[in-house]
Chains A and B, each alone.
Chain A
């Protein structure tokens, strides 16, 4: 795993929560490399550290030790604002709980990352509409989350994550709150984004059915990588 083309490389990442007696070691030294364009499923039982590693990969949380290199940049040395800019320009997030702004229309939710990027209003509207179109929500622009189904809300969240054309899409249990049929639709959408737009996808899931959409599965147990294997391109 020392490929120089790696988009992401973690070496010796640890994460400790709490201090002293109550300290809990959530990650016990994780080494990981991810190439551009990969579709990786991260699996493991509860408390195995899969969400923790995901948050570190997404710069939402910082590791206690170890190095995290993203496109040649040592993320662990970046300032808070630099990490925010990295999220802004390279990463897109999809969460289990959607995390849309309440009482805010689909269009405004999708526009939000572009506002922080300082895009002019016209370009912003066009890009947000296109992203909603792409996730199959053309015509739903003016609906607020409360007026949308769970599947539709997750589509809005996906549209928001891809509207900035990120290098990496991080999805934390994206189908965790959805029924089987809707889950499949969402997975088809994510798969298509990976295949057609070359977005690297990292997805945490505990459902083997969903992991089967990925090309590679990394399995976590007890804060360590237990297995790392290619799926042979399922789905």
Chain B
């Protein structure tokens, strides 16, 4: 019975090609939209968390003020002495990099480029996982004397020097000339979407004297020795800084201690919300596809009712007719679902490579949208038929 009914169902699909096509199309569009959106969203989330973890899982950042963004609450910036005391008192701190930033313009020959100059020390390169493509980092003498030397990122090199090797050349920052001693290897976009290679690094003292004109440090980056507990280090740093900043027992911290995991959570949380939003929008298209299917099925109910009457009259059992319609609905919906999944996979791979995010196959969303679309197809393909198959054959035959 099953085999014969399968044959009947396939014949019915073949002779109603337009209807079958539209049913499949509704499902294909819905399924493809949902899967593509969610897959791209997942890829974006993964990309963000990847970039954060590429910063190293052993990083702790210290930022003045309680809110995100340096000095936003008027809390005092860090001082160079803080760096020294961290070095001395937190034994598991491998590298302690103070950072003072200043946005400015770098000029070489006729080219100029707006960028951010970061003043720091050689620990900056260690903590930030930076590698040199050419040249060297700072010497101790250069750091101590605040010499006008810099290490530049790949973007700055490209903008100012084109493909040339910049090491040994002098660029002009504000009013002073600065020798390029090193070139950093390209890192690409940061988790926040900014270009990490758009950077110029100078000794801290150089920036403080010539650019910011103050002793302030905007941020401290501490990398922790492997195997050490991040939480213990954070507690240690918090205690130390509270003491150094004269914060009373009852007072709140006026600085934040963040590790990369927290940073990752904050940022991936944002992209996850965006993914859900996109998924919801796409789910609407799945629903609209479902309504399209419902429409097609209901329009063809008269013809199908007569067809059911004919089948019953020549001796089909009610359950045989129902099984045929069920198979028909399942075959069409599954086919639509599978085509949708194939299309979504292709689109996701293409779009994620275009957007520079990783492609992640999400079995859950594939299964979910597949079964949802199958359910729509089955409900709207099967239930009108069930009503018709329950009629007296003569009533089904005479259906207007």
Q: Which residues of A contact B (CB under 8 A)?
A: 55, 58-62, 80-81, 84-85, 87-89, 91, 93, 95, 99-104, 108, 112-113, 115-118, 160-161, 164
Contact = CB atoms under 8 A, between A and B. Distances in A.
A87 B306 CA distance: 17
Contacts of A117: 315
Given A60-B393, A60-B394, A84 B303 contact: no
Given A61-B392, A101-B15, A115 B8 contact: yes
B397 A113 contact: no
Contacts of B397: 60, 95, 99
B174 interface: no
A99 B307 CA distance: 8
Contacts of B317: 81, 84-85, 116
12 contacts: A58-B313, A60-B312, A60-B392, A60-B394, A81-B318, A87-B315, A88-B314, A91-B315, A99-B306, A115-B8, A116-B315, A116-B317
B390 to A, nearest CB: 9
The 3 nearest A-B residue pairs measured at CB? A88-B315, A60-B394, A103-B15
Interface string B290-324: 00000000000001001101111111111110000
A118 B314 contact: no
A87 B313 contact: yes
Contacts of A59: 393
A116 B15 contact: no
A104 B4 contact: no
A164 B316 CA distance: 13
A89 B4 contact: no
A118 B4 contact: yes
Given A60-B393, A101-B307, A93 B313 contact: yes
B319 to A, nearest CB: 8
A93 B16 contact: no
Interface of B: 1, 4, 7-8, 11, 15-16, 303, 306-307, 309-320, 392-394, 397
B399 to A, nearest CB: 12
A131 to B, nearest CB: 13
B397 to A, nearest CB: 6
Contacts of B303: 102
Contacts of A112: 311, 314
A91 B314 CA distance: 8
Contact of A99 (B1, B11, B313, B320): B313
Which interface residue of A89, A91, A95, A116 has the most chain B CB atoms within 10 A? A116
Which interface residue of A55, A108, A115 has the most chain B CB atoms within 10 A? A115
A116 B313 contact: no
Contacts of B7: 115
A177 B313 CA distance: 20
Contacts of A60: 312-313, 392-394, 397
A111 B380 CA distance: 28
A1 B318 CA distance: 35
A99 B4 contact: no
Given A58-B313, A99-B397, A108-B11, 13 more contacts: A61-B392, A81-B318, A84-B318, A87-B313, A87-B393, A88-B314, A89-B315, A93-B314, A95-B397, A103-B16, A115-B4, A116-B311, A116-B320
Nearest to A95: B397
Contacts of A62: 392
A160 B392 contact: no
A81 B319 CA distance: 9
Contact of A104 (B15, B312, B316): B15
Nearest to A121: B7
A61 B313 CA distance: 10
B259 to A, nearest CB: 68
Contacts of B313: 58, 60, 87, 93, 99
B312 to A, nearest CB: 7
Contacts of B11: 104, 108
A99 to B, nearest CB: 5
Contacts of B16: 103
Contacts of A95: 397
Which interface residue of B15, B315, B392, B393 has the most chain A CB atoms within 10 A? B315
A209 B319 CA distance: 42
Contacts of A93: 313-314
Contacts of A84: 312, 315-318
A199 B312 CA distance: 22
